[in-house]
A and B are shown apart, each in its own frame.
Chain A
């Protein structure tokens, strides 16, 4: 996809999602745009454009399920939901033994409408993907900090119906999931910064816009630096796809979410502390997104352990 095509796609997706209310409307808007066809034909651009738009508009779509299914080598469809790892974790959410699947994890709102649920399981030293009737899972809506996100806590304890297949693709699923969530945080981060910037330029105190005070300017500058660094790591993860580049992008996303939210909330001051202003939705959503496929702290610790075992520091990306 060239730059002009990408800009057109951004505009189409952005305006479609901006008009969608939280919840199922975002799924409908994406379906109308041909999301699944886009994901199959241009996965890199589709992922970036759609998830950044979801982040910017605080949209609650279930497209993450499709990304994971595709990364596992399956055929994404709207009646197939995916069991995601529990908050902060990235190991397969299920265990498969003696013809039974036991699993616990999170799922998007699709779990309530889908016919089937895909559960990736550790099975001894192997990983298997098991497709179960969605009705065999116990799904409970979790409101948490962001009820609009539509997440469910899911438990499965069921004899394994359907065929178990090898799924070496779990690492790939985690990598694609992390990239999707990273793009969503990037979109939300840019949106928070745009809100804080407008406020700083318009809000007058001591006879001048607060944007003229260097302390305020430097906070917003630091927020932009974090956002741009995140965009660069997501670009690197797309150019050199792999476990490590995706993990680094994901950890950068989590850190960026906190940096940007902290600076923007401080600049927004009183109004950002109210539910009259849209900032709170972006803050709450990114707090939730940060924990999907692992938290920054856990990923950083894991990366550090890997480097200390290998006794080297891989450069990963070249000119």
Chain B
């Protein structure tokens, strides 16, 4: 995505934003008792986005050609972090815009991006990301959901898609999907993949939500049966879908992480607010704080490198390993600091900790498992050679 000059200084933006959020506290607060249902959380997120878009906060850091006001992408990061730190939205759901909007801005025909990105930012629409498949987890390049052109790929007017996706977050709510498909032979691996922007109300798409370990139906299986998509919905080049998928990495590993970190600090703070002050608890709190701080320091350095023009790559696997470990550590601390609350307590507060504790176990699995990240560190950063 193009860099944008100008815009407010980060520190000014942060203090103005917090002043505005303070002034609109009542309006922005969730109208339900935490954790609420997923429906509650989604409508809260869309409502907050719409208020923030109307007040322009949601437009800073995005290019003007998609309805933004320009400025550093770090402004968006500050916004997401502020919302997470105030328990206004779930950062996992909110930060999906960071992996979806830049894809459209960088790879969609400009008119399409200008039309749809403001709808995502303003809370008018929800989008999902169709990457993983039943037989394609960590090994994304093996995906097999197939797209076939009506004739020569270069001049085709439509493509027909058949196959299945899984772990697609918010698919049952989504208006659109950024979809990776197989357009070359399977053995072409990452060279034979094409990305599409698909309307979820297209005939032939069936969504079957999956219940997660915490009882929430956040992700889904998505089936594609002869789904016809216009050729102008190809994102990037035909057979160039791997670049589209990889271009997400810098956003996922900077802005999304910073929002997650703000959320984990807030979670630790909620524990610190209520638990008895004794040395056993102090040790647990101190250790979690130490881990969060190291992660925050690393993520900050990564974002400063990105802002200075660096291309982020394999070294962000370190950030990913630290995020996952800190998320586990924060909720392990919750379990120790709140004995019995997660295991045998039916208050709403307990339901929140229980749900989030169970969800936190996914941190070492999604977005590339902890093992895959270590393989990348070993091969690319330590230059340990082949593992065969």
Stretch at the interface among A75-83, A100-108, A304-312: A304-312
Question: Does B10 lie within 8 Å of A319, measured CB to CB?
Answer: yes
How close is A158's CB to chain B, nearest CB, in angstroms?
A: 36
Is B303 an interface residue when CB atoms closer than 8 A count as contact?
A: yes
Question: Does A307 lie within 8 Å of B386, measured CB to CB?
Answer: no
Q: Of B266, B295, B382, which one neighbours A224 at CB under 8 angstroms?
A: B382
Is A221 an interface residue when CB atoms closer than 8 A count as contact?
A: yes
Taken residue by residue from 360 to 388, chain B's Cβ proximity to chain A (1 for < 8 Å, 0 otherwise) reads as 00000000000101110111011111111
List residues of chain A with CB within 8 A of the CB of B258. Answer: 319
Assembled-state Cα–Cα distance A218/B315 (Å): 15
List residues of chain A with CB within 8 A of the CB of B382. Answer: 197, 217, 220-221, 224
Question: Does B297 lie within 8 Å of A235, measured CB to CB?
Answer: yes
Stretch at the interface among B152-160, B242-250, B270-278: B270-278
Question: Does B298 lie within 8 Å of A308, measured CB to CB?
Answer: no
Q: Contacts A225-B321, A228-B318: A252 and B294 contacting too (C-beta < 8 A)?
A: yes
List residues of chain B with CB within 8 A of the CB of A109. Answer: none
Question: Does A300 lie within 8 Å of B318, measured CB to CB?
Answer: no
How close is B321's CB to chain A, nearest CB, in angstroms?
A: 5
Question: Does B298 lie within 8 Å of A229, measured CB to CB?
Answer: yes
Q: Contacts A232-B298, A319-B77: A217 and B378 contacting too (C-beta < 8 A)?
A: yes
Question: Does A218 lie within 8 Å of B297, measured CB to CB?
Answer: no
List residues of chain B with CB within 8 A of the CB of A73. Answer: none
List residues of chain B with CB within 8 A of the CB of A313. Answer: 265-266, 268-269, 272, 289, 292
Assembled-state Cα–Cα distance A56/B377 (Å): 22
Assembled-state Cα–Cα distance A201/B273 (Å): 49
Kindly report which residue of chain B lies nearest to residue A300, judged by CB atoms: B286
Question: Does A233 lie within 8 Å of B294, measured CB to CB?
Answer: yes
Question: Does B294 lie within 8 Å of A319, measured CB to CB?
Answer: no
Is B83 an interface residue when CB atoms closer than 8 A count as contact?
A: no
Question: Does A218 lie within 8 Å of B279, measured CB to CB?
Answer: no
Q: Contacts A212-B386, A218-B374, A221-B378: A229 and B279 contacting too (C-beta < 8 A)?
A: no
Assembled-state Cα–Cα distance A217/B294 (Å): 23
List residues of chain A with CB within 8 A of the CB of B303. Answer: 319
Assembled-state Cα–Cα distance A309/B290 (Å): 17
How close is B278's CB to chain A, nearest CB, in angstroms?
A: 8
Contact residues, A276-316 vs B (CB, 8 A) = 299-305, 307-313, 315-316
Question: Does B287 lie within 8 Å of A300, measured CB to CB?
Answer: yes
Taken residue by residue from 46 to 59, chain A's Cβ proximity to chain B (1 for < 8 Å, 0 otherwise) reads as 00000000000000
Q: Contacts A217-B378, A312-B272, A319-B10: A301 and B283 contacting too (C-beta < 8 A)?
A: yes
Kindly report which residue of chain A lies nearest to residue B301, judged by CB atoms: A232
List residues of chain A with CB within 8 A of the CB of B295. Answer: 229
Taken residue by residue from 292 to 334, chain B's Cβ proximity to chain A (1 for < 8 Å, 0 otherwise) reads as 1111111011011000000000010010011000000000000
Q: Contacts A222-B374, A304-B281, A311-B272: A201 and B384 contacting too (C-beta < 8 A)?
A: yes
Is A98 an interface residue when CB atoms closer than 8 A count as contact?
A: no
Question: Does A312 lie within 8 Å of B294, measured CB to CB?
Answer: no
List residues of chain B with CB within 8 A of the CB of A209. Answer: 385
Is A318 an interface residue when CB atoms closer than 8 A count as contact?
A: yes
List residues of chain B with CB within 8 A of the CB of A221. Answer: 321, 373-375, 377-378, 381-382
Total count of chain A residues near the partner, CB < 8 A: 45
Is B121 an interface residue when CB atoms closer than 8 A count as contact?
A: no
List residues of chain B with CB within 8 A of the CB of A222. Answer: 374
Assembled-state Cα–Cα distance A299/B285 (Å): 12
How close is B309's CB to chain A, nearest CB, in angstroms?
A: 13
Contact residues, A163-187 vs B (CB, 8 A) = none
Q: Contacts A248-B293, A252-B290, A304-B289: A217 and B281 contacting too (C-beta < 8 A)?
A: no
List residues of chain B with CB within 8 A of the CB of A255. Answer: 290
User: Max chain A CB contacts within 10 Å: which of B281, B286, B373, B374?
Assistant: B286
Is B284 an interface residue when CB atoms closer than 8 A count as contact?
A: yes
User: Max chain A CB contacts within 10 Å: which of B265, B292, B296?
Assistant: B296
Is B221 an interface residue when CB atoms closer than 8 A count as contact?
A: no
Is A28 an interface residue when CB atoms closer than 8 A count as contact?
A: no
Taken residue by residue from 223 to 243, chain A's Cβ proximity to chain B (1 for < 8 Å, 0 otherwise) reads as 011001110110110000000
List residues of chain B with CB within 8 A of the CB of A218. Answer: 371, 374-375, 378
Is A205 an interface residue when CB atoms closer than 8 A count as contact?
A: no
Question: Does B381 lie within 8 Å of A212, measured CB to CB?
Answer: no
Is B78 an interface residue when CB atoms closer than 8 A count as contact?
A: yes
How close is B63's CB to chain A, nearest CB, in angstroms?
A: 20
Q: Of B77, B273, B297, B386, which one neighbours A229 at CB under 8 angstroms?
A: B297
Q: Contacts A201-B385, A212-B385, A217-B378: A315 and B296 contacting too (C-beta < 8 A)?
A: yes
List residues of chain B with CB within 8 A of the CB of A213. Answer: 387
List residues of chain A with CB within 8 A of the CB of B268. Answer: 313
List residues of chain B with CB within 8 A of the CB of A228. Answer: 298, 315, 318
Assembled-state Cα–Cα distance A140/B149 (Å): 84
Assembled-state Cα–Cα distance A299/B14 (Å): 31
List residues of chain B with CB within 8 A of the CB of A319. Answer: 10, 74, 77-78, 258, 300, 303-304
How close is B76's CB to chain A, nearest CB, in angstroms?
A: 11
How close is B379's CB to chain A, nearest CB, in angstroms?
A: 8
Question: Does B384 lie within 8 Å of A301, measured CB to CB?
Answer: no
Q: Contacts A313-B269, A313-B289: A232 and B297 contacting too (C-beta < 8 A)?
A: yes
Question: Does B322 lie within 8 Å of A251, measured CB to CB?
Answer: no
How close is B193's CB to chain A, nearest CB, in angstroms?
A: 27
Subset of 22 A-B contacts with CB under 8 Å? A212-B387, A217-B374, A217-B375, A217-B379, A218-B371, A218-B378, A221-B374, A221-B382, A224-B318, A228-B318, A229-B298, A232-B297, A236-B293, A236-B297, A304-B285, A305-B277, A305-B286, A307-B272, A308-B277, A312-B269, A312-B273, A318-B14
Closest A-B pairs by Cβ, 9 of them: A304-B286, A304-B282, A217-B378, A300-B286, A232-B297, A221-B377, A236-B297, A308-B277, A232-B298
Given contacts A232-B298, A304-B281, 14 further A-B contacts (CB under 8 A): A217-B382, A228-B318, A229-B294, A229-B318, A255-B290, A300-B286, A305-B282, A305-B286, A313-B269, A315-B296, A317-B300, A318-B10, A319-B10, A319-B304
